[in-house]
Structure 1
């Protein structure tokens, strides 16, 4: 069942690029943007990461932390962050436990072939750990700007 605004965000603790641990509980008191993307260093995912990164000062001014999440390895995340100069954390969920808890690990279809993968989704979580907004099946152009406006309007 997909998560809805008002639901408690499922807790997680995942390894991140640069050897850090990214845990929801440690971020309480801040607004959080969790954006789920399919794969490091692919065209849509790179554009999405670069757009969020370009707005990092504005997200910081709105007291909002941005975190990217994919099933890629920490090593892949390290290379991706370095290649594009990303300043926000990327969480690695190779076991797909968090992706499943957030309902974004889904059956997809391409050229008639079915497979499991990440549905590009973004969640805005409030300071108390509740989901404030969900964007499913995200189209990248203009998305980060829309998320920023929602974060600015959240107390």
Structure 2
């Protein structure tokens, strides 16, 4: 005699017979529920990551010369000036300065000739993100590809 999966060994109905139909409806519901919970968790993690990024975008998008400055504008300006003076000392190559600033995303408008001698140039990196508009400026004068003057400043306006 063939074994009936809906009856036990004595022939009585089994305690938990499978419901009729091709598939259990509860398992399909559980799969959809698990998928929905997984998607919700992924969306929450993405939202949290975006919130952190929007709160402090400069941690990711700033060039190395402008990173890790103090939060106070006055202290940050002094630190940026010192950093630029150390990286681009008087007598160093203007071409190297230009190459490095461009590589880090600074915008370099064309230099302007000055009536009293060396050409004067400048570069700026701007970051506009709520609630602040920030700018890092580097200015220099050069003669025969040698820096004769370099200055920098950092500042911004915040709501």
With the shorter chain as reference, the TM-score category is: under 0.3
TM-score, normalized by length of structure 1?
0.27
- Relative contact order, CA 8 A, sep 6+: which one is greater? 1
User: Which protein is bigger by CA-based radius of gyration?
Assistant: 2
